[in-house]
Amino acid sequence: MNYYKEFTVTAEPFVPEIISSLLWELDISGINEEVNCLKIFAPQSAGLTVEQMNEVLQRLVNEKLLRNYYVEENLIEDKNWNEEWKKNIQVMKLSERIVIKPTFRDYSSSEGEIVITLDPKMSFGTGEHQTTRLMVKALEKYIKPGDKVLDIGSGTGILAIAAVKLGASSALGIDNDEWCLMNGIENCRLNLVDDKVKIRLAEITQIDEKEFDLIAANIQKNVLLNIAEKISAKLKKEGTAILSGLLDYDTDEVISHYKKCGMNFLDKYEMGEWAVLIFKN
C-alpha cells in the first residue's frame, strides 16, 4: 500500500496564497486550502520533512509576513488527489455580477451575471480568498469601457478575464511562475477571451507596453512597495491602480509610499483583516 505525507500548516495571520507560493518550491504533490489551515501532500518517497517546511516558512516570519506558524505531519493512505481537489472547488459568487464556475460544476446564471469558467490547478486566484473578492469589487467600480488593463501577478488570470468581461478592450496578465502562465492561458481559452487577454511570463520591468488605463496587482506588500514607481510609469495620466494582497495594518505604509511616488489615494475596501487600495496616477 502506498502512503503520502500530509502536512497541516496553520499560521497567524492566515495568508494561504503567500504561504502556498513558497511551499510549491518544495517537492510536493498538492495543496488543499481549508477554513483555517493548508493541507500539503507529498509522496513518502520524496523525503520531505517538517524541518524543510520550517525553513521555508521562517522566511515569511523574517519578512514580517507571518507572526507565527505551526506544521504538523501525518502519514496517510494514498488517494486520488485529483478527485480530492475537485471536492474543494465549488461555484462561487464573488460579487453581485461575477460568478466563478469550475468546468466540472453546472451553474445556471441569472440575468446580468458574468460567469467566469475557472480551473485553478496549481496557481492562485480561485476567488476563495478575500483579496480576490476585494479586487473584483474594485474592478466592477473602476473599469471603464475600452480600458487597457495590466494585471500584475495574474495567477489563474481571473482579474484579467474579469476586466475584459466587465468592458475592458484588452488585458495583459504577467506572472513569474510557469504554472500560472499555463493555467492563465488555459483559462483565457475556456472563457473565449484569448483574443483580448494575453498572459505572459514576465516581471513589470520586462514589458514594453505602457499607457495602461488601469493596473491591478494582488501581490505581496514588499513587491508592491518595490514596484510603485514602475506602476506609476506604466499608467496613463489619470489612470487607476488597484492594489491588494495587503493586511489592513500594512495599508498606511503603502498609501504613504505611493503618495511619495506622485499617486493620489482614492479609496479603500476591507474584508476581514485584508484590504484593497485604489490610487489615481
Q: Indicate whether 30 pLDDT > 80.
A: no
Range of the domain at 142: 125-280
Q: Indicate whether 85 pLDDT > 70.
A: no
180's grid cell:
500560472
Average pLDDT over residues 11-31: 82
143 and 266, same domain (yes or no) = yes
pLDDT tens-place string over residues 89-104? 778 888 888 999 988 8
Q: Indicate whether 3 pLDDT > 80.
A: no
Is the Cβ–Cβ distance between 137 and 95 less than 8 Å? yes
The domain boundary residue, chosen from 33, 58, 85: 85
- Cα atoms in the Cβ-side hemisphere of radius 13 Å centred on 98: 28
pLDDT tens-place string over residues 215-268? 999 988 889 999 999 999 999 999 999 999 888 888 999 999 999 999 999 999
CA distance 117 to 101: 5
187 and 136, same domain (yes or no) = yes
Rg of the chain's alpha carbons, rounded to an integer?
19
CA distance 191 to 165: 9
Q: CA distances (Å), 244 to each of 86, 154, 159, 220, 279, in order?
A: 27, 12, 12, 8, 12
In the prediction, which pLDDT does 120 show?
Answer: 59
| Helix, strand, coil shares, percent, the chain, to 5 | 35, 30, 35
Count of domains in the chain? 2
Residue 1's pLDDT band (cuts 50, 70, 90): low
The domain boundary residue, chosen from 28, 59, 85: 85
Is the Cβ–Cβ distance between 94 and 132 less than 8 Å? yes
- Choose from 10-14, 84-88, 154-158, 195-199 the range with maximum mean pLDDT: 195-199
Instruction: Considering only residues 162 and 63, tell me which one the structure prediction assigns the higher pLDDT.
Output: 162
Q: Indicate whether 13 pLDDT > 90.
A: no
pLDDT tens-place string over residues 169-194? 999 999 987 878 888 999 999 999 99
Q: What angle do CA 192, 197, 201 make, to 5 degrees?
A: 125
Mention every residue, 6+ apart, whose C-beta is less than 8 A from residue 4: 29, 41, 42, 43, 44, 75, 76, 77, 78, 79
- CATH number for the domain harbouring residue 149: 3.40.50.150
In the prediction, which pLDDT does 178 show?
Answer: 80
Is the Cβ–Cβ distance between 181 and 198 less than 8 Å? no
- CATH number for the domain harbouring residue 59: 3.30.70.260
Task: Write down the pTM of the prediction.
Answer: 0.77
